[in-house]
Amino acid sequence: MEKLIITPKTKIFDLLEAYPQLEDVLIAAAPPFKKLRNPVLRKTVAKITSLSQAATIGGLKVEELINKLRNEVGQKTSDSIEVEHGNYITEKPNWFNESEVVETIDIRDMLNAGEQPVHEVLSAVKKLDNSKILKVIAPFIPAPLIDKSLSLDYKHWLDKKGEEEYWVFFKV
């Protein structure tokens, strides 16, 4: 059987199916990856999260994470790897106004229940009036959600509140 080639676009679920031994390597690379031990999260979030997004979540350089994983399984490493989206807005943007936040969705409970928050969040963003803002509270950088919002040309601002608390503001 052809073994999976590890790239920034590789989904975590596929990676761990092909190389179960890499779970410990991922967890050692970044503490937020401990959540991969939760079977529910593994079946949901891991299926849509790429290694590029995982590197962002874990605060790692994509190429370092990919090279570390490739080394473990004997694949050749690369010096430069294309990052999917290195353009998350972390500086408070001019369009942000606290009084325009009209709804807050805390996705922590949804994630712990194994639910995918992407559709609920995006449908809430779609319903926003022009100047209104949606606030999302997450336990880690919700890279798949931000990437999807970028593809839809929504504005966002990612504000780190603590080790396991991120606020993401979305605006149409």
At residue 69 the predicted structure's pLDDT band, cuts being 50, 70 and 90, is very high
Report pLDDT for 86.
57
Q: What does 73-99 look like in DSSP terms, one character per residue?
A: HTPPP-S----S------SPPTT--GG
What are the pLDDT digits (tens) for 128-155?
998 999 999 998 888 888 888 988 999 9
Residue carrying the six token digits 């805390």: 106
Contact between residue 97 and residue 47 where contact means Cβ atoms under 8 Å apart: no
Question: What residues does each domain of the chain span?
Answer: 12-73, 98-171
What are the pLDDT digits (tens) for 90-114?
899 999 999 999 999 999 888 877 7
- pTM for this entry: 0.66
Pick 98-171's CATH classification: 3.30.70.2860, 3.30.110.40, 3.10.450.100, 3.30.420.10: 3.30.110.40
Distance CA 92, CA 159 (A): 8
